[in-house]
Amino acid sequence: MSTNRRQFLSSAVGGLVTAGAASGTRRAWAQGAAPKIQPGKIKPGGRDVLLVVDVQNDFIPGGALAVKEGDVIVPLVNQIAAGFEHVIMTQDWHTPGHISFASSHPGKKPFETTKLAYGTQVLWPDHCVQGTPGADFHKDLKIPHAELVIRKGYRKQMDSYSAFYEADGKATTGLAGYVRDRGFRQVFLVGLATDFCVCWSALDARKVGLGALVIEDACRGIDTNGSLAKAWDQMTKAGVKRIRSADLSA
Ligand SMILES: [Zn+2]
Q: How far is the CA of 177 from the centre of ligand 1 (A)?
A: 22
d(CA 35, CA 48): 12
Strands 87-92 and 113-116: unpaired
d(CA 223, CA 130): 27
For residue 54, pLDDT over 80 is answered with yes
Q: How far is the CA of 233 from the centre of ligand 1 (A)?
A: 24
Q: Mean pLDDT, to the nearest integer, of 150-177?
A: 94
d(CA 117, CA 184): 33
Sheet containing 241-243: which strands, arranged edge to edge?
Answer: 148-152, 87-92, 48-53, 186-192, 211-220, 241-243
d(CA 207, CA 165): 10
DSSP code for 101: B
Q: How far is the CA of 99 from the centre of ligand 1 (A)?
A: 10
Whether 102 and 112 have beta carbons less than 8 Å apart is answered as yes
- pLDDT category at 220 given cuts 50, 70, 90 is very high
Question: Among 189, 159, 162, which Cα is nearest to 175's?
Answer: 162
Q: Give me the residues paired with residue 120 across strands.
A: 115
Q: How far is the CA of 35 from the centre of ligand 1 (A)?
A: 31
Question: Among 10, 134, 137, which Cα is nearest to 74's?
Answer: 137
Segment holding 186, helix H or strand E: strand 186-192
Query: So which residues are the catalytic ones?
Result: 54, 152, 197
pLDDT of residue 38: 67
Q: How far is the CA of 104 from the centre of ligand 1 (A)?
A: 13
- Residues 74-97 have pLDDT tens digits of 999 999 999 999 999 999 999 999
pTM for the structure as a whole: 0.84
Q: Which residue has the higher pLDDT, 238 or 6?
A: 238
